[in-house]
Amino acid sequence: MSKRRALEPLEDVMDAPSPASKRSRVEDDVQSPEPVNGTSNGHLMQPRPQDRDKLDILGADAIEHEELEEAGVAFDEDEEDEEESAVSAPRRQAAPVEGYTDLYLDTIDRKVLDFDFEKLCSVTLSNINVYACLVCGKYFQGRGPKSQAYFHALEVNHHVYVNMETKKVYVLPEGYEVMSKSLDDIKFVVDPRLSREEVAKLDKEPQTKWDLVNKEYIPGFVGMNNIKANDYFNVVIQALSHVTPLRNYFMLENLSSRPQIAQRFSTLVRKIWNPRAFKSHVSPHELLQEIALRSSKRFTLTDQSDPVDFLSWFLNNLHLAVGGSKTKPNSSIVQKVFQGTLKIESQEITARADAGDRLRFEDAAVKTELTKFLVLTLDLPAAPLFKDALEEISIPQVPLTSILNKYDGLRPQEKMKHRVRYRLLHPLPPYLLFHIKRFSKNKFVSERNPTIVTFPARSLDMSPYVEPDPKLHPPGEPIWYDLVANITHEAVKRNDDSVEGEQEQKVWRVQLRDKSRDQWWGVQDLFVEKERNDYLHTKESYVQVWERRRTPARANAKGKGKAR
């Protein structure tokens, strides 16, 4: 046998082909001249999509090809994609693998979920196609392979998301929808919906519920978050949410085609009355953002405004949002509940030397005008300027019936250069809104009248202030109204060094009647406490909501009658 040469001549191998290039595994599939475990014909074999969860459980990186086959993992040898990256995104799944339908659901943290804030992506600030992460509570846009929620799932391993519009729950990055009854409580909190039977029981059957931290609360009487200076907003929304026909309308009607202000008010009212809430308070952030936009930042969460100004603006815009007309009366639920008719008689004051009383109506023609109202303004008598014998300024008191005499049609008042008289007309609306005017402005500061208004919580007779009309109401029969909500003002001294006219800070509070228990509750932002009926008038009442009592009508010829 001839001896083998140690080396071949260099000139014989100059034109030999280069060895196969070694490309990065990250850029392409690894190729090998010989088959290895998990490969076929020099290409990596990818497991079928339905077996990927088995690989995760078995720890496929440390298991040989034969062990995978014994575990029932099959490989798709016919599918090759030379352009697919070895560090590729997980494959999308139409459904979870059999036996793993509840995968990742144990990572959901209900205590961090807060769906009261505006639905904006925390990355793009977009409100389109928003998903909420059920693990950390953040909002993200979309769930596709290039979406913010998808990247969040890959980066921090948060896998369960709910669509804020459709209420469907998905697992990412796999992308399949979760069909589990255990998520119904989350879907309900996102958008609480009660049946007509449940809504009808709200004012009849007492309810006591508990939140996730075992704190007791009563649906409808929950605190509202004061983000900075939106207490004026909170008291108005709390009062309106206890006007029964208005509440029922926004809890039951489908307002998906209406403007956002109507939709968001509906959502907030349903959350206030939510019997399955995760927490015992709500946040008005979502509705406040819409109101700031529509009012051109006239009403915001950073600057305190007057509750009456906001109430008037809000009712008129809500009226238009639910399809109300600017000219046709009683064209929306807002006007059907609050709108009434007022007769105004006016006469110009003439300069006469023999006129003993400037406010006495003369024989000259009186101009009569009929106008619609939503809020009735009540004027307080002038506050005392001087101290009494004890060197103290006593706070005066005046009964509500006394300041209501403004609308009896007999007492004229001076307004600019006219003398005027006011009279309410039948039919009175189901609910009356009273604004007790406490603040006035001069050239320098805003003045406050601290006069206390005394009133009964039940049985306010409005018949003396309505012009008789036998066709609509029997003469001499009372018209009873009961108090539903009372917004009060409190002046608190500032701790900082303010100018003389700004030493007091306004604090707004609302008192609400629980019809099911015949109990009163005082609500100031997040604080809710019981109130005594005989102490309601001790506060500086500013806005009152009165409900007309439903009394049985006279029986007809058949002996049957119905409430009116």
Please report whether residue 6 resides in a domain. Answer: no
Q: What is the mean predicted confidence (pLDDT) over 438-449?
A: 81
pLDDT computed for residue 550 by the predictor: 82
- Note the pLDDT tens digit of each residue in 182-209: 899 999 999 999 999 999 999 999 999 9
| pLDDT for residue 167 is more than 50 | yes
Residues 249 and 288 in one domain: yes
Please report whether residue 152 resides in a domain. Answer: yes
Residues 351 and 467 in one domain: yes
Residues 437 and 535 in one domain: yes
For residue 334, give the nearest of 322, 346, 350, 347 by alpha carbon.
Answer: 322
Residues 287 and 141 in one domain: no
284, 287, 306, 318, 518 from 294: Cα distances, Å: 16, 11, 17, 11, 38
User: Helical H runs in 90-147?
Assistant: none
Residues 310 and 374 in one domain: no
Percent of the chain residues past pLDDT 90, beyond the cut: 54
Residues 409 and 345 in one domain: yes
Please report whether residue 555 resides in a domain. Answer: no
Residues 358 and 455 in one domain: yes
- Note the pLDDT tens digit of each residue in 251-274: 999 999 999 999 999 999 999 999
The full DSSP string for 264-290 is HHHHHHHHHT-TT-SSSEE--HHHHHH
pLDDT band at 344 (very low <50, low <70, confident <90, very high): very high
210, 231, 293 from 488: Cα distances, Å: 29, 11, 27
pLDDT computed for residue 69 by the predictor: 45
Please report whether residue 162 resides in a domain. Answer: yes
What distance in Å separates the CA atoms of residue 65 and residue 222, rounded to the nearest whole number? 61
Which of the listed residues 87, 113, 137 is the one where a domain comes to its end? 87
Strand intervals (E) in 134-190? 139-141, 160-163, 169-171, 176-177
What distance in Å separates the CA atoms of residue 399 and residue 453, rounded to the nearest whole number? 5
| Strand pairing class (446-448; 527-531) | unpaired
The CATH number of whichever domain residue 167 belongs to comes to 3.30.40.10
Which of the listed residues 314, 347, 370 is the one where a domain comes to its end? 314
Please report whether residue 95 resides in a domain. Answer: no
| pLDDT for residue 17 is more than 60 | no
Residues 432 and 519 in one domain: yes
Q: What is the mean predicted confidence (pLDDT) over 320-332?
A: 91
pLDDT computed for residue 327 by the predictor: 87
User: Counting runs of H as helices and runs of E as strands, what totals does the chain give?
Assistant: 12, 29
Domain count, the chain: 4
pLDDT computed for residue 337 by the predictor: 96
Residues 506 and 361 in one domain: yes
- Note the pLDDT tens digit of each residue in 274-305: 999 999 999 999 999 999 999 999 999 999 99
Contact 192, 164 (CB under 8 A): no
Please report whether residue 9 resides in a domain. Answer: no
Contact 262, 332 (CB under 8 A): no
pLDDT computed for residue 80 by the predictor: 40
Residues 182 and 261 in one domain: no
pLDDT computed for residue 557 by the predictor: 39
Domain that holds residue 55: 23-87
Residues 51 and 82 in one domain: yes
- Note the pLDDT tens digit of each residue in 354-408: 556 666 666 667 788 899 999 999 999 887 766 555 556 678 899 999 999 999 8
What distance in Å separates the CA atoms of residue 409 and residue 489, rounded to the nearest whole number? 30
Beta-carbon count within 10 A of 210 CB: 11
- Note the pLDDT tens digit of each residue in 481-540: 999 999 999 988 776 555 544 567 899 999 999 999 999 999 999 999 999 888 888 889
pLDDT band at 164 (very low <50, low <70, confident <90, very high): very high
What distance in Å separates the CA atoms of residue 90 and residue 534, rounded to the nearest whole number? 67
Q: Taking the chain, what is the end-to-end CA distance rounded to the nearest angstrom?
A: 125
Please report whether residue 344 resides in a domain. Answer: yes
What distance in Å separates the CA atoms of residue 234 and residue 217, rounded to the nearest whole number? 18
Please report whether residue 484 resides in a domain. Answer: yes
Query: 200: which DSSP letter?
Result: H
Per the model's pLDDT, the better-predicted residue between 81 and 250 turns out to be 250
Residues 170 and 307 in one domain: no
Global pTM value: 0.78
Percent of the chain residues past pLDDT 70, beyond the cut: 74
